[in-house]
């Protein structure tokens, strides 16, 4: 019965190590996705520490490649030292992922205040040229999120760009149909929803991706630690198994 328990745990452990390799790629992808998205939305929040969960999750992904290698070798060879190292590293990574979840929730709560503080400033610095970073950022989110202005398209009336252009229009990136010129005389051609709420929602969704990814793989790592501990405990409590592994015979 004990031998059956060890064999089952080893089988699950080898399978989990294969999952760890897949998880490593997924974690690195999620972290990279956060970085790329941050580059598109970085004008709307100034706290670069929001990227800390993404940095950690990429580091964890890289470490999981090594963990998978150690775990497979230690499981196949049934190395006590290797399995112990495997469990310790998994425990450290598990604690790191718990930290990612906590930080994710903290920064997710801060996103709204960050965007509310900075978005007006970004719109005020809009000048409609492609060389202006703020202009590129605003045109991008208005097209991408299908929104216009901060709360609605009428917010453009209070910007420097509107006052200087004096053509009673909003940027073409506010247009939802072809042939639209952005004229406020045809508001039905413009996106009706403001961008502030949508930017907040997008950034919070991204942070939730990080949180759920970390939680999912933390649960898998707990299972990996449990299986490794079962193998270690069975070996230490079963002298007959130790004798069998060392090549001896059982009287």
pLDDT greater at residue 66 or residue 249 = 66
**The predicted structure's pLDDT at residue 76:** 67
Concatenated DSSP letters of 90-139: HHHHHHHHHHHHHHHHHHHHHHHHHHHHHHHHHHHT--S-TT-HHHHHHH
pTM for the full model? 0.73
pLDDT at 243 over 50: no
**The predicted structure's pLDDT at residue 75:** 67
Rounded CA separation 60/64 (Å): 6
Of 53-57, 79-83, 117-121, 162-166, the poorest mean pLDDT is in 79-83
pLDDT at 96 over 50: yes
The model's confidence at residue 244, banded by pLDDT at 50, 70 and 90, is very low
Give the mean model confidence (pLDDT) for residues 95-122. 84
Give the mean model confidence (pLDDT) for residues 77-83. 70
What tens digit of pLDDT does each residue of 4-62 get? 444 565 676 677 777 778 878 888 888 888 878 777 777 776 666 667 777 888 888 88
Domains annotated on the chain, with CATH: 98-219 (1.10.1450.10)
**The predicted structure's pLDDT at residue 234:** 64
Mean pLDDT, the chain, rounded, equals: 79
Contact between 220 and 19 under an 8 Å Cβ cutoff? The reply is yes
């Amino acid at each position: 019965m004990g031998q059956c328990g060890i064999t089952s745990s080893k089988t699950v452990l080898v399978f989990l190590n294969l999952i760890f390799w897949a998880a490593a790629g997924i974690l690195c992808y999620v972290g990279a996705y956060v970085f790329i998205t941050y580059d598109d939305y970085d004008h709307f929040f100034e706290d670069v520490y929001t990227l800390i969960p993404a940095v950690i999750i990429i580091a964890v992904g890289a470490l999981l490649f090594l963990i998978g290698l150690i775990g497979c070798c230690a499981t196949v060879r049934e190395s006590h030292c290797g399995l112990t190292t495997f469990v310790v590293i998994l425990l450290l990574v598990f604690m790191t992922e718990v930290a990612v979840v906590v930080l994710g929730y903290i920064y997710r709560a801060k996103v709204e205040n960050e965007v509310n503080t900075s978005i007006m400033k970004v719109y005020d610095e809009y000048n409609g040229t492609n060389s202006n970073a703020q202009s590129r950022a605003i045109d991008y989110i208005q097209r991408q999120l299908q929104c216009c202005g901060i709360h609605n398209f009428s917010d453009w009336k209070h910007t420097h760009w509107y006052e200087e252009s004096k053509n009673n229009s909003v940027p073409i990136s506010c247009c939802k149909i072809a042939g639209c010129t952005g004229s406020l005389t045809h508001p039905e051609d413009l996106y009706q929803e403001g961008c502030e709420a949508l930017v907040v929602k997008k950034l919070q969704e991204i942070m939730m991706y990080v949180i759920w990814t970390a939680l999912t793989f933390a649960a898998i790592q707990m299972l990996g630690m449990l299986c490794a501990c079962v193998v270690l405990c069975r070996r230490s409590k079963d002298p007959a198994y130790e004798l069998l592994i060392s090549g001896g015979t059982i009287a």
